[in-house]
A = this chain, B = another copy of it.
Amino acid sequence: MTDLSPLALPFPDLPPVAGVRLGIARAGYKAWDRADLTYAAFDEGTVVAGVTTQSLCPSPEVEWCRAALVLGHARALVVNAGNSNAFTGHRGRAAVEAIAARVAGTTGCRPSDVFVASTGVIGVPLPIDRAEAGIDAVLAAPPASWADAAATIMTTDTFPKGAVTHAIVDGRRVTLIGIVKGSGMIAPDMATMLGFVFTDCAITSPLLQAMLAEANATTFSCITVDGDTSTSDTVLAFATGQAGNAPLDSDEAPAADAFRAALIDLCRMLAQAVVRDGEGASKFVTIAVTGAKSNASARRIGLSIANSPLVKTAIAGEDANWGRVVMAVGKAGEPAERDLLSIRFGDTQVATAGMAVEGYDEAPVAAHLTGREIEIGVDIGLGDGAATVWTCDLTHGYIAINADYRS
């Protein structure tokens, strides 16, 4: 298998979330000797929110979740790794329905309370018999940890990814835990990859949905590995309401600010962890765009830079080739004026007012580029729009992984 990403982070200590129980099992979706089915059970009263891929070819799991999200209640989550079940027609839909029915029939909840996500190869129907046997096994299995769950949802990921934040809401300390998987086919439009957030905060489903969409806009939707958008991208947030706070039901409640900030922090950590596990990544790249016509314009310019193969290979080669950044701004299709453009690498301004900074010191730039954490700043010079985008470099590792990967 692929080597551990050099940008990998250790898995954090994650406390339990009241009202959430985890399990893992081996359904055998691929010929591998590892657990590949993750299960989370939620106490009654748990509400759910979610954002899903903008792909016009979504998986049946995505369609199932969209329909169930309308009702806003959750009792279970099933995540299958090794097979995305996408583009499998009626057989794929039948597999999702069978999973929801099996969980509902065994645990006594409604099928619409069961959320399903799958990740892996596209085009192969998820085998219903293995899924059902896996669910039977996981319901009989001992409790699993966050680390177990984060490892079990992985596919080409090289390390499990999780994060925790807290907020004081209504005098109560609430906990937010997130786990995420993703490494390639990462270019979120609305959401990306599979990400799951769990909190004991009491909050209404519509407010959780609004806050998740807001957090997504500046976190998951601001990362890219390869510009490719998955058919299965899903981020779901589950709130069990057991923290004891008076339920949050309005964006204007003072306590909402604390929860929102904690949710955005959590999503940012998870999104950055995905970039740190980008296929073949050797450097973590932060692209800060300022001075654009709007925040949305700044984000699109940032993603144009972050998705440019020539920018990404220059970073891999530790080459301060800022001309490629100019190129990527020029092709973004957003308002820009060549002669107002400024670019910095790390703390060094390398270009300003449409040309190179006369005699800028290349030494700190070269030193910055040899590091693992690269920062590129671009000022468009036209307005107040700003956005930060995260990506990784493009290396031989990406080619090696993707010229061979298939089940």
Contacts and interface: CB of A to CB of B under 8 A. Distances in A.
Interface of A: 53-58, 84, 86-92, 121-125, 184-185, 187, 189, 226-231, 307-310, 313-314, 316-317, 319, 321-324, 326-332, 334-339, 341, 351, 353-356, 394-396, 398-400, 402-404, 406
A335 B356 CA distance: 43
A56 B329 contact: yes
Contacts of A231: 326-327, 330
16 contacts: A56-B334, A89-B353, A90-B355, A92-B355, A122-B327, A123-B323, A123-B356, A229-B327, A229-B330, A231-B326, A313-B398, A313-B403, A316-B399, A317-B403, A321-B406, A396-B400
A310 B230 CA distance: 11
Contacts of A336: 56-57
B403 A310 contact: no
A189 B330 CA distance: 11
A87 B187 contact: no
A339 B63 CA distance: 13
A98 B79 CA distance: 66
A310 B228 contact: yes
A320 to B, nearest CB: 9
A323 B316 CA distance: 28
A327 B192 CA distance: 13
A371 B336 CA distance: 43
A345 to B, nearest CB: 13
Contact of A331 (B229, B323, B326): B229
Given A89-B353, A89-B354, A327-B229, A310 B184 contact: yes
Given A91-B355, A185-B310, A353-B89, A327 B403 contact: no
A341 B231 CA distance: 14
Given A313-B403, A399-B399, A55 B331 contact: yes
Contacts of A321: 122, 406
B330 A402 contact: no
Contact of A226 (B92, B123, B309, B337): B309
A354 B323 contact: no
Contact of A326 (B87, B327, B399): B87
A402 B315 CA distance: 10
A53 B189 CA distance: 27
